[in-house]
Amino acid sequence: MIRRDPHKLAKVEGRRRGIYWLPNAFTTAALFAGFFAIVQAMNGRFEVAAAAIFIAGILDGLDGRVARWTRTQSAFGAEYDSLSDMVSFGVAPALVVYVWALKDFSQLGEIGSKSQWLLSRLGWVAAFIYCACAALRLARFNTQLDIADKRYFTGLPSPAAASLVASLVWAFSLYQVDWIVTVFAGFSMVSNFKFYSGKDINLRKAVSFRAIVGTAIGVGLLSLIADTLAELLLAVSVVYALSGYVMPLFSMRAAKAEPPAVDEPPVPPSPPPAAGEKGDPRA
């Protein structure tokens, strides 16, 4: 039996519970970008607010990688990252899209009918649904870290949902579409659909020729659809948000196309050779 030095174990646990400045600096920068997006939306600078949310997404993708590269992962960093994500990808997109367009629903309640009274509240209700779903998505993600498949996310990731809402703010100005997309992004975060995480991509591993051709075709199609950077980001966000709903259809189709496995009958054992025949030890 191998005995472990309790002093060494305590030292390792202390490092895991420590606070490391480098990855937490990226997390703080992402948190600042989310807060900056809220401030800019309040000042009416919605394009800057949307861009700040995208910057927060880039910084959020870097903090975890920096922690793994420098071996500075810690429980504090994980909790801090979740709180930063809630602000940058939960509260900030909800408030930005509400201030930009969804609050216009309040004008529908001026006449005073019951139906218009309900419509006047759809704006902040949609924003709250998105915000609440982001919180639920992050809580579920934190509780499934040890059992989840690393290749896929369960539910639309909060940075992707925030990108979908932010790109919509950046590219268009139709509040009816905003309401639908905001609610769709919120419910997608708490769904059980699988979204590809990309964590199994190895940049040092060779890829097939078909993958290169498919990537080139995809970039070309997106370039045809989008004329500006905002529209390109919106197209990418929409494609990824819909991928979790489309991929199960392809999986079901592939499963139906495969021929059913036929169980072959077991081969009966050969009878022992008779006395005097070749192979009989008594011969």
Residue 250 belongs to a domain: yes
Residue 129: the pLDDT is 93
Structural domain of residue 125, as residue ranges? 18-198+209-256
Q: What is the pTM of this model?
A: 0.72
Task: Give the span between the Cα atoms of 108 and 19, in whole angstroms.
Answer: 50
Residue 85: the pLDDT is 96
Residue 177: the pLDDT is 67
Of residues 205, 181, 171, 81, the one with CA closest to residue 130: 181
Work out the pLDDT band at 48, boundaries 50, 70, 90. very high
Q: Which residues, 6+ apart, have CB-to-CB distance to 57 below 8 Å?
A: 30, 88, 89, 159, 162, 163
Residue 163 belongs to a domain: yes
Residues 66-78, mean pLDDT to the nearest whole number: 89
User: How many structural domains is the chain composed of?
Assistant: 1
Task: Give the span between the Cα atoms of 257 and 266, in whole angstroms.
Answer: 27
Residue 103 belongs to a domain: yes
Residue 276 belongs to a domain: no
8 Å CB contact between 199 and 249? no
Work out the pLDDT band at 57, boundaries 50, 70, 90. very high
Tokens describing residue 154 = 């369960």
Residue 251 belongs to a domain: yes
pLDDT digits (tens, 9 = 90+) for 142-175: 888 777 777 888 889 999 999 999 998 888 755 5
Task: Please give the share of the chain, as a percent, with pLDDT higher than 90.
Answer: 30
Residues 100-117, mean pLDDT to the nearest whole number: 61
| CATH code (residue 169) | 1.20.120.1760
What does the angle CA 161 – CA 167 – CA 172 come to, to the nearest 5 degrees? Answer: 130
Of residues 216, 90, 77, the one with CA closest to residue 160: 90
Residue 83 belongs to a domain: yes
pLDDT digits (tens, 9 = 90+) for 205-253: 766 667 777 777 877 777 766 677 778 888 888 889 998 888 887 777 6
